[in-house]
Amino acid sequence: MIEVNNLVKVYRSKKNKEVIGVNDVSLKIKEGEIYGIIGYSGAGKSSLIRCLNLLEIPTSGKVKIDGLELTKLSEKNLRKARQKIGMIFQHFYLASSKTVYENIAFALKAAGKSPKEIDARVKELLELVGLSDKLNQYPAQLSGGQKQRVGIARALANEPKVLLCDEATSALDPSTTKSILNLLKTINQKLGLTIVLITHEMEVVKEICHRLAVMQDGKVIEEGPVYDIFANPVQPLTKDFIQSVLQFNLPQQLIENRKGTIIKIQFKGAIAEESVVSDLFQQFKVKGNILHGKIEYIQDVPLGVFIMELTGEEKEVQRAINYIEERTQNLEVVEHVA
């Protein structure tokens, strides 16, 4: 659905100094998926997403959406193509002098729809975002979450195939964030809309994204299905982000002064529901002291971590470790005190 090839965006500062926004990014985003892009401030996320609808003109590289190479289109055709790409922002950008109804109607008018079509569509959209009772209110009379719902309705007005979200929930409190994410999830499922979502919060990714790209210094440094990245982050930055939501590590003082072998076991997917640990104690003469245990659900798929101190005869402990390694393929000996 979206294909980005070797995209580069270089800005020129007033002193004619070059600032790199996006540095040679290539991506493929599939139809109907929710694709997350995460990175710290200045990583180039907004630059990248703004290049997707040519709100920012790429310095070089290609952007193809739904078979159309946007970077090659004339001004007029680009305007038309843009109607099929909705966008929402952190600060909503609603017209303050217009009512909720008028804010949404505006996008439809711009696309040349008749008043009758506009009226029916605005009402349908307000229903979809749960704001049917607010149509005559002004933005100042709405909460942040409600404003973002108007933003979403407006972005969906012309039935786009793609919705770009630049920090759409960053100005909202956690529970409002959740309700907006749920709305995006519903829209994704109901309308089959492809969603690209920029965030600096891993919690948001964990909640709704199917795949994820991690950005640093204008580059995509890691990319893949969200669950795989949570289970096996490779880059230090990705590990930092995962750590921020999963907190699977132990405080150092808990590890010190232990007599046994401390093992960390990670359970992925269905295996998180298996009885590996109880089987272990039935089969081997070892004792286990549980130091930490947690199962997180990444969109309903479990990812668990269990940290234990094993004590017993060294040979038996080793056999037990081999056994767990075989069953989970993911065991790390944190500390081994012989």
**Contact yes or no for 242/214 (Cβ under 8 A):** no
Verify binding: residue 238, ligand ATP, rule CB under 6 A. no
Q: Provide, rounded to whole angstroms, the least separation between the CB of residue 337 and Mg ion.
A: 47
* CA atoms within 13 Å, Cβ hemisphere of 323: 18
Q: Provide, rounded to whole angstroms, the least separation between the CB of residue 218 and ligand ATP.
A: 7
Residues 6+ positions from 106 with CB-CB distance below 8 Å: 95, 98, 154
Verify binding: residue 168, ligand ATP, rule CB under 6 A. no
Q: Provide, rounded to whole angstroms, the least separation between the CB of residue 30 and ligand ATP.
A: 23
Verify binding: residue 233, ligand ATP, rule CB under 6 A. no
Whole-angstrom distance, CA of residue 193 vs CA of residue 204 = 18
Residues 6+ positions from 249 with CB-CB distance below 8 Å: 243
x/- mask, Mg ion, residues 18-47, rule CB under 5 A, reads ----------------------------x-
Verify binding: residue 19, ligand ATP, rule CB under 6 A. yes
Verify binding: residue 36, ligand ATP, rule CB under 6 A. no
Verify binding: residue 43, ligand ATP, rule CB under 6 A. yes
Verify binding: residue 71, Mg ion, rule CB under 5 A. no
**Contact yes or no for 307/292 (Cβ under 8 A):** yes
x/- mask, ligand ATP, residues 198-227, rule CB under 6 A, reads --x---------------------------
Residues 6+ positions from 193 with CB-CB distance below 8 Å: 32, 156, 160, 161, 162, 163, 187
**Given candidates 7, 25, 39, 131, which one binds ligand ATP under the rule CB under 6 A?**
39
**Beta strands across the sheet bearing 18-29:** 18-29, 2-12, 60-65, 68-69
Verify binding: residue 42, ligand ATP, rule CB under 6 A. yes
> Radius of gyration (Cα) for the chain, nearest Å?
25
- For ligand ATP, the binding residues (CB under 6 A) are 11, 13, 19, 21, 39, 41-47, 200
